[in-house]
């Protein structure tokens, strides 16, 4: 008699394991699958890290319910919705949460840019399901250019070993901002956060900033500000930022 065919491991199983909602009899199968699939295992670790960060951030917010058993799509939307709310607090400069130690208060526009980029990296880079809204380079450039009312060409980082994952519309200070995400062959990601609602000013040198959300290199031209964030050293981020700036696109 043949053995019962094992049900395939799906996205719903990955989310359920990360959320602690997977039945015990299924957990062993999924964990065995993770041992043979390092990328899926890393995805589970990333989801657990996001959950922990969100729980810590909203520890006193009774409006955040625990994830309930649901379909993979609803579970993904729940995580993305809460992550967006978390990003909104960070990127919007919610003073109450800053004072609790998540982000230091600072009036510097350049330091604010770095914090925004680092927060975007922390929220979206670990997401293996829907980290960006659009992936095609030309369409993405046209879309962000239109929404931000500026020329928004997409920098090329192929020579540095990074391919474009895609991008998404973000929030600046009451106006649209943009985010581009890149990934290298090892699956490590960086994000470029762009705002064009800064007060008028002269081009500024690159600055390195380390925040509670991560590290970033920020700079500005006459019309816009930029920050590159990721889990890399200062010299690595600075080298990538210089490649972007030297292209004369941003």
Map out the domains of the chain with their CATH numbers: 11-86 (no CATH), 108-246 (3.30.200.100)
Report DSSP state, residue 145.
H
Q: What does the pLDDT read at residue 246?
A: 84
As averages over each run of 10 residues, the pLDDT of the chain (250 residues) reads: 59 77 82 80 71 56 50 52 49 36 48 87 89 92 91 92 94 85 95 86 80 83 87 92 80
Q: What does the pLDDT read at residue 198?
A: 77
Residues of the chain by 3-state class (helix, strand, coil), percent to 5: 45, 20, 35
- Partners of residue 230 on adjacent β-strands: 190
Q: What does the pLDDT read at residue 96?
A: 34
Q: What does the pLDDT read at residue 113?
A: 85
Q: Which H or E element spans position 123?
A: helix 109-124
User: Phi and psi dihedrals of 222, rounded to 5?
Assistant: -65, -35
Q: What does the pLDDT read at residue 3?
A: 44
Q: Helices then strands (H, E): number in the chain? A: 8, 6
Q: What does the pLDDT read at residue 180?
A: 97
Q: What does the pLDDT read at residue 134?
A: 92
- Partners of residue 204 on adjacent β-strands: 220
Q: What does the pLDDT read at residue 199?
A: 73
* Dist CA 122 CA 86 (whole Å): 10
CB 190 within 8 A of CB 181: yes
Residue 61's SS3 state is: coil
């Amino acid at each position: 008699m043949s053995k019962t065919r094992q049900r395939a491991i799906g996205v719903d199983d990955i989310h359920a394991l990360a959320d602690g909602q997977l039945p015990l009899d299924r957990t062993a199968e999924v964990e065995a699958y993770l041992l043979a699939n390092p990328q899926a295992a890393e995805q589970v670790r990333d989801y657990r890290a996001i959950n922990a960060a969100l729980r810590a951030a909203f520890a006193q917010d009774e409006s955040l319910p625990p994830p309930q058993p649901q379909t993979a799509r609803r579970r993904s939307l729940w995580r993305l919705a809460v992550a967006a709310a978390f990003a909104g607090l960070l990127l919007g400069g919610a003073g109450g949460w800053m004072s609790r130690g998540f982000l230091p208060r600072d009036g510097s526009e350049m330091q604010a840019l770095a914090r925004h980029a680092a927060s975007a990296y922390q929220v979206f880079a670990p997401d293996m399901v829907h980290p960006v809204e659009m992936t095609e380079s030309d369409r993405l450039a046209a879309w962000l250019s239109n929404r931000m009312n500026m020329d928004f060409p997409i920098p090329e980082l192929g020579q540095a070993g990074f391919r474009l994952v895609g991008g998404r519309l973000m929030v600046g200070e009451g106006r649209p901002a943009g985010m581009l995400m890149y990934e290298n062959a090892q699956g490590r990601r960086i994000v470029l956060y762009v705002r064009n609602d800064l007060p008028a000013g002269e081009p500024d040198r690159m600055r390195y900033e380390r925040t509670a959300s991560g590290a970033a290199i920020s700079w500005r031209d006459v019309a816009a500000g930029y920050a590159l964030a990721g889990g890399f050293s200062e010299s690595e981020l600075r080298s990538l930022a210089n490649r972007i700036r030297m292209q004369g696109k941003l």
